Amino acid sequence: MRYGFVIDQTTCIGCHACTVACKTEHNVPLGVNRTWVKYVESGTWPDTRRFFSVMRCNHCADAPCVTICPTRALYKRHDGIVDFDTSRCIGCKSCMQACPYDALYIHPGDHTAQKCNYCAHRTDIGLEPACVVVCPEQAIVAGDLDNPATRIAQLVATEELSQRSVEQGTRPNLWYRGASVASLDPLGAVDSGDGGIWQDPAGSWLAVELTPGAIAAAGPKIVHEPATPARVVYNSRHPMPWGWRVSSYFLTKGIAAGLAIVMALALLAGADVTTGWARLGVPIVAGALLAATGGLLVWDLKRPDRFLYLLTKGNPGSWLVRGAWILSAYAALLAVWTFAGIFTQGPEVDAMMFDGGAVLPGIVWIAAGLGLAVAGYTALLFGQAEARDLWQNPLLLWHMIAGAFSAGGGATLLFAFAFGIVDPPLLDAASWCLIGGAAALGLIAAAELMSRHPTRNAAEAMHHLSRGEHKTEWWVGGQLIGVAVPVVLGFIYLGNPDLGVVGAGAGIAAMAGIWFADDAYVKAGQSVPLS
């Protein structure tokens, strides 16, 4: 058994009966929708057409929202329905980033993710979904796709139907009959720019000239105006799920990971493991930033009271859960580092030696390895956000790791200047990590700009990032402040180690630039419409 939908757009009249029935059946509040009707207009007045498309969850056979959900709040039933359990949802919004169909929303009352569930409570007792029952034109066809006797199975087998975003590989169980390409393709129609019908306009609608000047002129003069693109005049709004807290968490965890990496490389250069910074400074500062990382993650949840569900009800296939494991392991190791550092001083140093090796350096190296995982796992989490094609770039992993090197080196130089730390091998290692990480970030950015993007979604997002609304933050903040300034100041500091303020300035620039670049990247990835 495999339930699905066929929506016949040749008979749909755009009456919104399906939307109203859905809201009534499930008590869906104003401002959000489980199903809605999208209006697209094409042509030039007076020769225009309006197309309707019913939008909703596609109940995918390979549902990315189920894969990324960290608490199994979203799950796939034996009959193919993708359902949800609000009692397990933590409101992380990752499912919204994974769905290519904009089908999920956060309920403004209980702050959990919800969507069309095929009216499972009705289906289980043999009734059709509410939207099917009320449709006056019988434009919504529901049923078992695996039963050849059903109308939906016959339509799928015999009619020429269309689907949305099939390139995402989700294998949707929703088809459209007679739908225009501009209606189904999120990039097939432009925003009308006036707010749309039944919504507040962007400007005054009184300023719109409804009658072309050529027709108002004397005589039956015919004017051939240039063709205008199809335009969306009504749709459901979908604000960006992730914002500055996610961008900030990139930076805090990058610094926390980078401090251990820099310390490990400094040991190779002969740094003193018994200094206060090596024993206690690094684990305490990194631990504080790791705590800030956790705080930002919990703060961004719509149900922060349930954050422990990541550990107690976790989905091991979600990189949000795996990330929580990695962060927890790193926090535990930093605690061990701090404990070992307390006893690694003066005469106790020899007591910490065994088998020809030192306990503390071993802890530092383990922490550095785990720090790489802390820095890089987010790239794999973003990779599960399959709706955001910009984030599928394999360079994102290396961007995260390079950012940890740059931020870790910059933070070390900043604290060295603030606390008067004088350890040449440590400062040299920090400087080279800063310069190398910043330079790598610049090279990765150049590679992203010059790469051929595999989908229109990715290309459009890159346009928003490099030439659109986020270009100033990306170029000035990310590339000038975050790459050029740290590299130049870093080399100046290497040549003049007494100029601690220069090294500190390079570190501040590096960390600020990383935040600007990542903030622009997070926003640009979400700037492309999905419905």
CATH 3.30.70.20 fits 3-184, yes or no: yes
For residue 364, which of 440, 429, 431, 296 has the smallest C-alpha distance?
429
CA distance 415 to 411: 6
For residue 518, which of 246, 320, 288 has the smallest C-alpha distance?
246
CA distance 259 to 272: 15
Residue-level pLDDT at 445: 97
> What token pair was written down for 101?
């169909």
Say if CB 91 and CB 97 are below 8 A apart. no
* Residues with Cβ within 8 Å of residue 144, at least 6 apart in sequence: 1, 2, 3, 79, 150, 152, 153
String of DSSP letters for 404-454: HHHHHHHHHHHHHHHHT---HHHHHHHHHHHHHHHHHHHHHHHHHHHSPPS
User: What φ, ψ does residue 114 adopt, rounded to 5°?
Assistant: -140, 165
Residue-level pLDDT at 420: 93
Residue-level pLDDT at 198: 65
The pTM of the whole model exceeds 0.85? yes
DSSP 8-state code for residue 467: T
Q: What is the pLDDT along the chain (531 residues), one digit of tens a residue?
A: 999 999 999 999 999 999 999 999 999 999 899 999 999 998 887 888 889 999 999 999 999 999 999 999 999 999 999 999 999 999 999 999 999 999 999 999 999 999 999 999 999 999 999 999 999 999 999 999 999 999 999 999 999 999 999 999 999 999 999 998 899 999 998 887 766 676 655 544 444 444 343 333 333 333 333 456 888 989 988 999 999 999 999 999 999 999 999 999 999 999 989 899 999 999 999 999 999 999 999 999 999 999 999 999 999 999 999 999 999 999 999 999 999 998 876 544 444 443 334 689 999 999 999 999 999 999 999 999 999 999 999 999 999 999 999 999 999 999 999 999 989 999 999 999 999 999 999 999 999 999 888 899 999 999 999 999 999 999 999 999 999 999 999 999 999 999 999 999 999 999 999 999 999 999 999 999 999
β-bridge mates for residue 232, sequence order: 40, 191
Residue spans of the domains in the chain: they are 3-184, 244-525
Secondary structure of residue 269 in the 3-state scheme: coil
Residue-level pLDDT at 150: 97
Assigned CATH for 244-525: 1.20.1630.10
